[in-house]
Amino acid sequence: VGSVAGAEVFVAGGMAGLLSDSIMHPVDTVRTRLWVQGKVAPEMRYRSSIDAACKINRAEGMKAFYKGYGSVFVVTPVAYGVYFSTYEAAKHYFGKWSGAGDASPAVHFAAGISANVTGQLAWTPMDVVKQRQQAVQGEPFRGLRDAFRTLYREGGVSNGLLRGYNAALYACAPFSAAFLAMYEEWKVQVGRAHRHMGVSETTSERLTPLTNSVGGLCSGGVAAAITAPLDAVKTRMQVSCRSEGHGTFLSVARDMLKKEGLKVFVQGVSARVGTIAPGCAVTICTYEWFKGMVRSASSV
């Protein structure tokens, strides 16, 4: 992991993820409502992200936008810590194994997939709890402990706590790989531009928070948009009740297409991009800042 120790990467990733998810949670609630309307919650009908936000606020108040936040607060630091730790370790391993070094886009792509495989073990139960709370006007659980117990009673580990894990990989692993590969390439290109302009090597490698934020925003936005249909299927699988069965990713996608048309896969895209792109900017900026602080402290 270079000059940054594994424990320090874990802490930096956890803090970055918690800050990002805390800021973007209200937008994520809107996105979830848009993608489950008419199916999980038939009484809810929204025309757009703005329409959904207005109706949620009018019917349930501002606190509704933070439904499901309890699981985020508890699980997110662990999930992001594991995610970034795996990414840094996998990037180093694949770079050394392939002989391409840490700067290869293929290495970043593979490391991004690896990071998501491990991170999803924590994200999946969190998402199931969070999205079930976000999807309805009432409260489906008596508390966080009851939520996880309910999931376990419904299907044990594989069909309860990790319900939709494979679907999450289909949706999130491509996003993770694309986002990190594009962001790392952004850093390479900005570094080259700096050197071309005569900026010192040290400065070009340690980019400013603004530069990191712009790279995270653009990379996250593009990756979020192109993987939105996959996330729509994943969300539908995770919030559906046990009585509806456990369809496969492809069977759920076919059912959505047959009953609701292509539009179901693009509903909520703006909310997804609006959630993920700024979230990526905050996450990656905070993560790079923490790593820089660790490097500075270790060099003293």
From the candidate CATH numbers 1.10.10.1150, 1.50.40.10, 1.10.443.10, 1.10.630.10, the one assigned to the domain spanning 6-299: 1.50.40.10
Residues 181-191: tens digit of each pLDDT: 999 999 988 98
pTM summary value:
0.81
| Cα torsion 54, 56, 59, 61: sign | negative
Question: How does residue 203 score in pLDDT terms, banded at 50, 70 and 90?
Answer: low
Average pLDDT, the chain: 85
Q: How confident is the model at residue 174 (pLDDT cuts 50, 70, 90)?
A: very high
Q: Which residue has the higher pLDDT, 268 or 51?
A: 51
With the C-alpha atoms ordered 62, 65, 68, 73, is the resulting torsion angle positive or negative?
negative
Spatial separation of the C-alpha atoms in residues 279 and 22, rounded to whole Å: 9
pLDDT number for residue 280 = 95
Residue 2 has pLDDT above 60, yes or no: no
Q: Domain segments of the chain: what residues?
A: 6-299
The pLDDT value recorded for residue 3 is 43
Residue 112 has pLDDT above 90, yes or no: yes
Look at residue 108 and tell me whether its pLDDT is greater than 90: yes
Average pLDDT over residues 11-29: 91
pLDDT at 221 over 90: yes
Closest among 131, 124, 146 to 67, alpha carbons compared:
131
**Residue 167 CB neighbours (<10 A):** 25
Token pair, residue 267, equals 């509903």
